[in-house]
């Protein structure tokens, strides 16, 4: 991918898109196109095609998506399936119609079955039932993967799909109503510390295990794969190790400096018991994550403190 290449980052204001933007600029790519959701509604087919016909990007990072945790997925299932299907279908089809050289589609580890063997290999996709709490989102993402593969097969496009594990970092969503677990923990413990709350109540039992990848590592992996990976088969991006939610909560609690108690509300759902990605395929391609979980949480909390006033709070 030449340094002068015209690159479109879809979803550049989000967690992943903003990290991709930072990484591309660090690497000397300056011909980058972006549009906010107010400037371009990616759910509108005609508008997306007109944008592609006018701008003619050579490379596309498809990071735009409607995302959220268990609560958001349970509350807005129709929005999660509709918005994500429309966004990816419009961008992938427009990329084909306007001759985009290469597209990288960002999926999610949520696509894999609820009880997939651990660690999760790429070939486990669709071999058993999905996790019910995020099924609409997962089905939309699976459709995006299959769309990339179908276009490659029928039209000879070079559309690749990557499956990141749970992500965190700067520009994450810290809204307690629809954020993922790690930013929600940072927010909860910080608020409890500031308010001198005697306890913090967390959902579930704390026993599920999750893998966490810093978003700057993901951006590095995506650029690496955009330059070197040309296969229709999906590829996992992760760190190769996981941590229980209970241990994660204690780690965040210590980093934030909260001294109260943790109470677990076991009437609330746990979600998938475990979700560790097999990253042997990615390692074979020569890439590994560099940012440790503790280091990553510390820097993310520091970013939160520096941007607290600008973060949309509820």
Does 11 belong to an annotated binding site?
Answer: yes
Does 43 belong to an annotated binding site?
Answer: no
β-pairing verdict for 59-62 and 102-106 = parallel
Does 225 belong to an annotated binding site?
Answer: no
Does 264 belong to an annotated binding site?
Answer: no
Q: Is 137 a catalytic residue?
A: yes
Yes or no: say if 225 and 103 are a contact pair by the CB < 8 Å rule.
no
Q: Which residues pair with 7 in a beta bridge?
A: 32, 59
Does 190 belong to an annotated binding site?
Answer: no
Q: Which long-range contacts (CB under 8 A, 24 or more apart) does 193-199 make?
A: 193/256, 193/257, 193/258, 193/259, 197/260, 198/260, 198/261, 199/260, 199/261, 199/262, 199/263
Does 188 belong to an annotated binding site?
Answer: yes
Yes or no: say if 192 and 145 are a contact pair by the CB < 8 Å rule.
no
Catalytic residue, chosen from 96, 137, 151, 304, is 137
Does 108 belong to an annotated binding site?
Answer: yes
CA 178, CA 155: separation in Å to the nearest integer? 38
Does 180 belong to an annotated binding site?
Answer: yes
Q: What is the CA radius of gyration of the chain?
A: 19
β-pairing verdict for 102-106 and 159-164 = parallel
Does 165 belong to an annotated binding site?
Answer: yes
Does 300 belong to an annotated binding site?
Answer: no
CA 12, CA 99: separation in Å to the nearest integer? 22
Tokens of 210: 């999750």
Does 312 belong to an annotated binding site?
Answer: no
Question: Which residues are documented as binding site for NADP(+)?
Answer: 11-17, 106-109, 141, 164-167, 180
Active site residues: 137
Question: Which residues are documented as binding site for substrate?
Answer: 188, 203, 210, 270
Question: Which residues are documented as binding site?
Answer: 11-17, 106-109, 141, 164-167, 180, 188, 203, 210, 270
């Amino acid at each position: 991918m030449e340094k002068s290449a015209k690159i479109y980052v879809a979803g550049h204001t989000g967690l992943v898109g903003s990290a991709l933007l930072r990484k591309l600029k660090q690497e000397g790519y300056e011909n980058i196109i972006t549009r906010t959701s107010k400037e371009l509604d990616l759910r509108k087919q005609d508008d997306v095609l007109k944008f592609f016909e006018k701008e003619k990007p050579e490379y596309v990072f498809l990071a735009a998506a409607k995302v959220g945790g268990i609560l958001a997925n349970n509350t807005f299932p129709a929005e999660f399936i509709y918005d994500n299907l429309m966004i990816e279908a419009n961008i992938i089809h427009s990329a084909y119609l306007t001759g985009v050289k290469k597209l990288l589609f960002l999926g999610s580890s949520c696509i894999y079955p609820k009880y997939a063997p651990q660690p999760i290999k790429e070939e486990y996709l669709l071999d058993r039932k999905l996790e019910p709490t995020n099924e609409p989102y997962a089905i939309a993402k699976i459709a995006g993967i299959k769309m990339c593969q179908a276009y490659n097969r029928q039209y000879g496009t070079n559309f690749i799909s990557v499956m990141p594990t749970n992500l965190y970092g700067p520009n994450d969503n810290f809204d307690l109503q629809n954020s993922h677990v790690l930013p929600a923990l940072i927010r909860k413990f910080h608020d409890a510390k500031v308010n001198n709350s005697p306890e913090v109540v967390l959902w579930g039992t704390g026993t599920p295990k999750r893998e966490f990848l810093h978003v700057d590592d993901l951006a590095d992996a995506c650029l690496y794969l955009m330059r070197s990976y040309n296969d229709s088969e999906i590829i996992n991006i992760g760190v190769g190790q996981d941590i229980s939610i209970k241990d994660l909560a204690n780690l965040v609690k210590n980093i934030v400096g909260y001294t109260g108690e943790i109470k677990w509300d076991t009437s609330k759902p746990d979600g998938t018991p475990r979700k560790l990605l097999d990253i042997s395929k990615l390692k074979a391609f020569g890439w590994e994550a560099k940012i440790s979980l503790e280091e990553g949480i510390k820097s993310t909390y520091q970013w939160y403190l520096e941007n607290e006033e600008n973060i949309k709070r509820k």
